Amino acid sequence: MSRKGAPDCWKLGILFSETGVTAVIEQSQKNGALLAIEEVNRRGGVAGRPIVPVSYDPGSIPAEYGRLAEKLIVEDSVSVIAGCYMSSARKEVLPVVERRNALFFYPTLYEGFEYSPNVIYGGACPNQNSVPLASYLLENYGRRVYFVGSDYIYPLESNRVMRNILRQGGGEVVGERYLPFSADATAFNAIIDEIAELKPDAIFSTLVGEATIDFYTAYHEAGHDARKVPIASLTTNEAEICRIGAKAAVGHITAAPYFRTIDTPESRRFLDSYAAMFGSDELVTSCCEAAYFQVHMFAEALEHERLLDIARLRETLLGASYDAPQGMIKIDPDNSHTYLHSRIAKVDENGDFIVEREVRRPIKPDPYLVAPDLNDHRFRLMETPQFVRSIKR
């Protein structure tokens, strides 16, 4: 759905994959970005001009994101891009947007330990998702955790952080395995055998995309009961659960700022608008929501500046807040990351995420994890109020 903008429009580069191993989640992010563009244009655009997406499919190949970011900036004259899921893809785009001085919106949870003046980070970093999840697992399942992940920077780095957080809370990592993207479904058999032998209290998965579907399916087929030993993750969203199926997914746990089952007016309006554009809200994920609110925040900043001036847009964005489907959020002027809500949800027998715990207020991003204190009152998980637990159907 690539479209070159006419001069009387605002171009926005879109780099999400519709093919390859992470298409399952990136398609939801792309839809979130396109929905926000559609909503802005429906009410007259920005300063009377529509936002026009200029989009390419990088095929889930990290180097392609870098090449296509360069193409967007140089050939399509785009100066603002939203895109990327995998951190390996973001690392390819980073030097391009810095060298060309473009603005890059990244709507995905990641491992932290990064700052670029050219990036606005819209996904959670470890103090906003790993810390609350570790606290929940230690409190509800036990001390012994097994790590399984895809073999690239995000799982390796975020597990380094998760290991420290668990240790701080008295936990231990009893096993750790990484699989290449080329691994087929049978590659999980050895991991499933090792889990049966080591008997952890919980599994922490940093697998992404297709591998998630293969692993959860293999775990279920091997007879493991998720209600006793769940797979907990930050990267298993509604889109993956939809592919895994309710039977194999029930009992597993995910921490994220947003779940599609949150029954608030802002979330309902977002889901209705999404379903009107795409036919169903089944595949809405927290990464889709992040792409959605980031594009809306870009449009608001552009409305303010009325100019695609990167320095001025950035100045306007830093400190800006937005009433997102997850609740009120704000871009932290200290580090260009976003204050986000933190929720822990479990999959029920219908395949829906039911929020079990949440932190009361949005958490300030701490990408360098300066204060990873499990007892910090700001991370205290509250029993979720009834109105949040009810499911929208």
Residues at the contact surface with ligand ACM, assessed by CB under 6 A: 85-87, 108-110, 154, 208, 235
Rounded least distance, CB 156 to ligand ACM, Å: 10
Rounded least distance, CB 52 to ligand ACM, Å: 27
Rounded least distance, CB 140 to ligand ACM, Å: 24
Rounded least distance, CB 309 to ligand ACM, Å: 29
Rounded least distance, CB 237 to ligand ACM, Å: 10
Cβ atoms of residues 166 and 374 within 8 Å: no
Q: How far is CA 295 from the centre of its chain?
A: 15
In the complex, residue closest to ligand ACM by CB: 154
Q: Kindly tell me which of 111 and 201 has the beta carbon lying closer to ligand ACM.
A: 111
Structure tokens at 75: 């050939």
Q: Kindly tell me which of 86 and 231 has the beta carbon lying closer to ligand ACM.
A: 86
Q: Whats the size of the chain, residue-wise?
A: 393
Rounded least distance, CB 108 to ligand ACM, Å: 5
In which order are the strands placed within the sheet that holds 253-256?
172-179, 144-150, 202-206, 231-233, 253-256, 343-347, 353-359, 381-383
Q: Kindly tell me which of 31 and 235 has the beta carbon lying closer to ligand ACM.
A: 235
Q: Kindly tell me which of 207 and 271 has the beta carbon lying closer to ligand ACM.
A: 207
Rounded least distance, CB 235 to ligand ACM, Å: 5
Rounded least distance, CB 154 to ligand ACM, Å: 3
Name residue 328's amino acid: M
Please name the residue ranges forming H helices in the chain: 23-42, 62-74, 87-99, 126-140, 153-168, 188-198, 210-221, 238-244, 246-249, 265-278, 286-305, 310-317, 386-389
Q: Kindly tell me which of 107 and 325 has the beta carbon lying closer to ligand ACM.
A: 107
User: CA quadruple 385, 285, 352, 191: dihedral positive or negative?
Assistant: negative
Q: Kindly tell me which of 60 and 79 has the beta carbon lying closer to ligand ACM.
A: 60
Please name the residue ranges forming H helices in 169-309: 188-198, 210-221, 238-244, 246-249, 265-278, 286-305
Q: Kindly tell me which of 10 and 353 has the beta carbon lying closer to ligand ACM.
A: 353
Q: Is 224 helix (H, G, I), strand (E, B) or coil?
A: coil
Q: Report the alpha-carbon distance of residue 385 to residue 163 in Å, rounded.
A: 30
Cβ atoms of residues 262 and 387 within 8 Å: no
Cβ atoms of residues 266 and 325 within 8 Å: yes
Q: Kindly tell me which of 10 and 258 has the beta carbon lying closer to ligand ACM.
A: 258
CB 227: neighbour CB atoms within 10 A? 10
